Amino acid sequence: MIGQKNIVVGFSAPSETTCFVGREKFIEAIRQLLLQKKPVAIAGPAGVGKTALAIRLAHLLYEDFPYGILWYRLDTKGFVGVLEDVAKKFGYNINRLKTVKDKVAVVKKALSSGNILVILDNVTNPNDLAPLFEEEINFPLLITSRSLNVPKNFNFFLLPVFTRDEAISFAVKILSLDFVSKNLAKINLACQTLGYLPLAVSVFLRQVFLSPWRFNFFIKELLKNPPQLTQLVYDEKNLYASLSLSFNELTDQQKAFFSSLGVFEGADFSKEAAAEINSLSLEKTSELLEELKGLSLVEGSAGGRFRLHPLVRVFARQKMENDYFYHRLFKYYLNFLEKGGVANLQFYPKIDQEQENLIGLFKQLLSRGNYQAALKIWSYIGVFLWDTGYWRLMSELGPQVYKAAEKINDFYNQAAIAIKELAWLFFWQGDLNRAEKYAQVGLDLARKLKNEFLINFAEQRLAKVYQAKGKLKLSLKFLEKNLQYFEKSNQWERAGDTMTYLGETLWLLKQHQEAENYFFRALSLVKKIKDVRQECIIYNRLGGLYLVKKDYPRAKKYFILSIKLENKIGRRVGGIAWNNIGLGLIKEELGDFEEAKKIYKIAREDIAYLGIGKIDRTNFFVNAVKSRLLKSQFFRFPRH
């Protein structure tokens, strides 16, 4: 049920900087607001220290938010991606919801139950967050943004550049009191030239720390082409001047290594990935990363990972001379995915950690016309996105993958993508006509290829579409043929699915005994091959079938078995909701109306997020028991 209490989501903020100075008034004011569950926005120019302040606050507030502090880079994750990820922390998959408003409602309800702080870093357009405020926000939220156009619902803090005293205190922390005292006028001149912009000042001072004997040279170089301060610091020239000076002082190896880091599209990256794309040992990579951290060109992230400031990443990319590092990154991630294997649930947390980098690489490969490489990456991440419920990304990327295969006349991948992903995606989105179209396209291609597996797979997809459209005899014809093929070719998972679909279709044809036989055949098989997800579905189907047959004890038994297994493997709200509807119908038909109402309430709360406001043709269980649902005195679908 949405709104579970005491869900611990962990602490995902990046590691704290060792040289944080000042900002005391901001820290105390923002801390008090967040403890009161008030939304806060920290705004200011690039490099002014918004992220550093947010990180400082996260670490200071660690004990105040015992159930967790969630940190997201909105420019890499996207607002909808954040909503989907937060929902997953509570065990819910909201990808089926069609509107942002519905997704927001689920997330707000989930977050309202616990003391959890959400931090959204680098929000490009704060107005994208407007759906959060259509109703009063009920959880602490902190955002950072370069935009001053922040919704009025936020408590707004415009973060200024360093004061002269803060800049000098910062210099003392990095360089030492003795050095700063002896060179105070020049250090102040450098900070003034850089507009007292914290990141620009940090990059400059750390370069001085590494080569103090070249201090006068650095000052001279900085003053040769001073940034245009008439535009203050909102145009990034101050930061660029400092980055250019620091970059020019790097060794050739440091320059190449730093530039290579621009290939990472995600919020952060691993030391192992950086080592591989540069053909370096982990020891040497660690050394280079620490050197670049010392220059404020690289920052630490959570879990021993590393990150680049968004503008530093842009600067690094500008220094890349060709696509060499993208080629290296492709080899690294392909090897990473091959080791994990396809559909390896135990490996999925590692893929999820690299998801933004993988999707970024995939898009870069497509934009560069390297379609074959993109398809190789997709063969792994496509399955991952489907299995983990990233339907939004599937909707966005699936058609692009299909077009990529089409451009290089890769008919096999065209067929596979049309059948495995696009047909199924549109089916579960309720777009049966598009689902049928892609399944038929895939079938036509499979027949040209004379690929029996793809032919039968496409027919199986079409059979489910026909089942939902009420073309039951045509569905049955395909499924009986497909089952023979899958059993003969030892495709046991497909065979288990097909037996389940046969049971469903026979049920709709009112051939209940034959349906029951297929469900038990399927159950025996999926237990043998340990297909636990399908086992949950079959228990639900058996519960529904016995409900229709008015065998209430057995119906209750299988609904409960399905719920227990769903909870054991990671609850799917939809799966549990349908079982609860079944249990509610049993109670209602037995005259236990109060208990039925309680169970229906739980089911309604769970399915509200799915955006289902009526009997859905693609939802077999709800469609199969619709006559009882329509007669129910107490159950109604949530309104949307």
pLDDT tens readout for residues 522-536: 999 999 999 888 999
Alpha-carbon distances of 292 from 226, 246, 250, 372, rounded to whole Å: 24, 10, 9, 35
The full length of the chain comes to: 640
Model pLDDT, residue 615: 47
Mean pLDDT check: name the lowest of 282-296, 425-439, 563-577.
563-577
User: What pLDDT was estimated at residue 433?
Assistant: 94
Q: Would you give the distance in Å from CA 561 to the centre of its chain? A: 30
User: How many secondary structure helices (H) and strands (E) does the chain include?
Assistant: 33, 7
Half-sphere exposure of 334 (CA within 13 A, CB side): 16
**Residues 319-343: pLDDT tens digits?**
888 889 999 999 999 999 999 998 8
Among the listed ranges 317-321, 365-369, 542-546, which one has the minimum average pLDDT value? 317-321
Note the pLDDT of residue 385: 87
pLDDT of residue 222: 81
pLDDT at 637: 56
User: Does 20 score more than 50 pLDDT?
Assistant: yes
- Other residues' Cβ atoms within 10 Å of the Cβ of residue 266: 21
Q: Report whether 59 contacts 211 (CB < 8 A).
A: no
pLDDT over threshold 60, residue 609: no
Q: With H, G, I as helix, E, B as strand and everything else as coil, classify residue 348.
A: helix
Q: What is the per-residue pLDDT across 182-241, written as a single tens digit (0 to 9) for each?
A: 999 999 988 888 888 888 888 889 888 888 998 898 888 888 766 543 333 334 556 777
Kindly tell me if the per-residue pLDDT of 177 is higher than 50: yes
Predicted local distance difference test score (pLDDT) of residue 616: 55
Nearest CA among 345, 267, 350 for reference residue 310: 267
Judged against a pLDDT cut of 60, whether residue 2 lies above it is answered with no
Judging by DSSP bridges, how do beta strands 299-300 and 306-307 pair with one another? antiparallel
Secondary-structure breakdown of the chain: helix, strand, coil percentages, each rounded to the nearest 5 = 70, 5, 30
Q: What is the mean pLDDT of the chain?
A: 86
**Partners of 40 in the beta sheet?**
142, 155
Chain segment 50-67, per-residue pLDDT in tens: 898 999 999 999 989 888
Residues with Cβ within 8 Å of 500's Cβ and at least 6 positions away in sequence, in order, are: 518, 519, 522, 534, 537, 538, 541
| Reported confidence tier of residue 47, pLDDT bands at 50, 70, 90 | confident
For residue 414, pLDDT beyond 70: yes
Q: What is the mean pLDDT of residues 568-595?
A: 81
CA-only gyration radius of the chain, Å: 29
- CB 389, CB 95: distance < 8 Å: yes
Predicted confidence at residue 129, as pLDDT, reads 85
Would you place residue 608 in the very low, low, confident or very high pLDDT band (cuts 50, 70, 90)? low
For 589, counting Cβ atoms within 10 Å of its Cβ (0-12 exposed, 13-18 middle, 19+ buried), the class is middle
CB neighbourhood size of 567 (10 A): 14
pLDDT at 636 over 50: yes
Question: Given the DSSP bridges, would you call strands 69-73 and 155-158 parallel, antiparallel or unpaired?
Answer: unpaired
- pLDDT tier, 127 (very low <50, low <70, confident <90, very high otherwise): confident
Nearest CA to 292 among 60, 278, 168? 278
